Structures are given as C-alpha cells and as structure tokens.
Amino acid sequence: MTPGTGAVRVVHGAAATLTCAGLAWTFWAGLEQPGYALAFGALIVVGELARWGAGPGEREPAPIGAAGALAYALLGECAGRDTSHGFLQVVAVVVAAALVGAVLHVARGRGPALDHVARRVLTVGFAAVCFQPLYNSGELERRLGQGPYYALFLLVLLLLTALCDAVLAAVLLRARTGFPYGPLLRDELRAILGIGSAVCATGAVMALAVAVTGLWALPVFCVPLLLTQLSFRRYAAVRTTYRQTIASLARATEIAGYTRPGHARRVASLSTAVGRELGLTGGDLTVLEYAALMHDIGQLSLVDPVPDGATTLLPVPEQRRIALLGGAVVRQTGVPSAVAVVVERQADPYREQPLPARIVRAVNAYDDLTGGSGRSAGGALGALERLRLGTGQDYQPEVVESLARVLARGGLAPAPPG
C-alpha cells in the first residue's frame, strides 16, 4: 500500500466510522425534533439535486446542500425554542439527505465522488462536534450569551471548519496526484475566498435566522446562494468554452500536418503536471496550460513543415523565429499577454525565460524526442537523458527532474496520440 493510498483510506475510514456512529445512534435513540430534521434534510436534498459536476476550479459542486448541512450543525434554537439534537444526529441527517439527493445523479452516472462525500461528512461533523455539546450543555450561553461574542464564536468556528475542509481536500489531492502539499493547500485556501465563503456565511446566517424567525428563514436565505450558484455555473461554462476554443485553435497545426496528432494536448497535460510539481497554482497554471496548447502555433507561418513538427531539432535562430511568429499570432487571439510571452520566449536560454516557458520548452522537447508514441520505457529514458545533458544551456535542471518525477508516477510512456 502506497502512502497516498493510506491517506485516502484513513480519511474515508474516519468518514465511514462517523457515519456509522451517527446512523446507529439515531436509530437507537430516535430522531429528536423530527420536524427540524425533515426541514433541513429537505434543503440538503434540494441542494444535492441542484448540484453540478465538479470541474477544474470548482471545489464545491453542491453549495446549497453544504450550507444547509452547516446550518443544521450550528442550529441551537428555532423560533426561540432550544433544539435538542446532538452532533451524531446532525451527521445522520446530513448523510441520509445527501444519499437521497444523489440517487438521481447516480442513476445518470454522475454521482458525487467518494472523496467529496468524505469531506462533507468530516467537515460537518467537525462543526457539529465543536458546537452542539457546548450549546446543549448551556456552557456556550453562560460564557458568551447571545450577543456579539456568540456571533464571533460562530465566525471563528466557520473559519476553522473551512480550514478543516481545505486541509482534507489538499490531503486527498496529494494522495491522488502526488503533487506537493503546500501549493495544493494554497489553492484550496484561495478557493475559500470564492463560493466557499458564500457557503460558510449563508450557513451561519441561516442558523441565526432560524433561531429568531423559525424554519421560514430557510427558503428566504437560500435565494442569494442560489443566485451565486447560477453565476458560478455560467462563469464555469464560459471558461470551459474559452478553453475549448483555445484547444481547437491549437489543433490547427495538427490538422494542417505541421505537428503530430495529440502533440499540443500531450504537452499541455504534462506541462500542467510539471507546473503543479514545481508549485504553480491558480492563474499561473492557466497561463502555462494555454501557452502549452499554443506553443507551436507559429509553425503555421512556415512554407515547408518541419518534419514531424519537431522544432527541438531545428537550429536555434529558426526556433526563435517560429517562437516570435507564434507569439504574434497568440496576441491576436485575446488571451492574456503572459501566454504570448511564454510562447515567444521558447527558444531563449532557460536562465532568461519565465518558469512557464522553461516548463513548456522541456516538455515539448521530451515529446519531440519520444515522438509521442511511448513505445518503450527506453525511448522515454533516452529522452530524459538528452534533456539532462542539455541542462547547461537549454533546460533548467529542476524542471527536467520534476518532469522525471511526474513521468515516474504516471509511467514513462507518454499519453497516446490523438
């Protein structure tokens, strides 16, 4: 068992243990205040039904369900009446509602990922464990009352819950991908400032509103989050369309016969993996991906195609001419200027290049040298050896070694063409 697999099993095991404990306790002791549980359970079901498939940059595919679960975990009163459910019932209701809401998605083959379910159970369980025993014992009211200190306590608890979720997400991604933990955690913490903050704030506000006005507050306070969810979905759709447009433009060199089939896609995929290995996150990874997709676009200006599109084997002046032509084309497409800079500096000595350009150059050379076929580990090892021999002038040693680590984790054979 690899260390990564062990971490995943620990997280999944902890979530499964908490789930079993919550369901067993609820079945044994009965459902406290079933009306409240049914109302919040219905909200979570609606949130699960309205969720969308998680994509790159989408950390929370069910924000309404997550906010409802968090509100139930932080619920101390309803219309002035104290609640009596404990943290184990919170877990049981959240899991049961999430399962009911996921049935339709599972039937369509788009069920929630197990990692996401484990994170939901553990983060909601964390919030409930920190809040419910203190509130039900009366200790929280005796020490903080119902004023600003109580609201401050909820704010601190929300921050700790968000941090718990970010840590779990980074641990699972680290275990799944092998990428460095620090950059993954920074990405998750940055995501909290997006829809994550809206989820936490809505969950807390719903709990406070229900305490004063009752369950009627649930649909009212879900409307802002629903509008936020719709906005994020539209933004994600626009971003996806934008990336598909760039990928289609990048394929022009393949369609015209200037590069091998799948070359741009392979370079982009491998460059992104190397970028994560070197600690790039967020916008830097986006620039790297776009530049990798479009790095050969300058070849369209050539009268005679380069054999197999392998610009790595050309004289340096010719490489620079193609790179500059490519940068000029990229600047006309409307992508960020940083992408054009990466493309047009492909043939510069690596010490004068920005890091994304160093990555694309090394990965492009690797794919050129292996022919993108991946027929044997020897070909891949030979290509890496040639890159290592060029680290004095052409390739940054750290980039080459990061490429080697990425290939070692995924196998030395590159992705198949096409």
Tens-place pLDDT, residues 244-265: 888 877 787 777 777 778 888 8
Global pTM reads 0.77
b/e code 306-342 from CB counts within 10 Å (16+ = b): beebbbbeeeeeebbbbbbbbbebbeeeebeebbbbb
Closest by Cα among 364, 412, 416 to 390? 364
Q: Is 205 helix (H, G, I), strand (E, B) or coil?
A: helix
The position carrying tokens 């964390």 is: 126
Residues of the chain with pLDDT under 70: 1-4, 52-62, 111-112, 302-313, 372-378, 411-418
- The pLDDT value recorded for residue 57 is 43
pLDDT of residue 108: 73
Based on its alpha-carbon atoms, the radius of gyration of the chain, rounded to whole angstroms, reads 26
3-state secondary structure of 280: coil
Give the pLDDT confidence score for residue 318 in this predicted structure.
Answer: 79
pLDDT at 308: 60
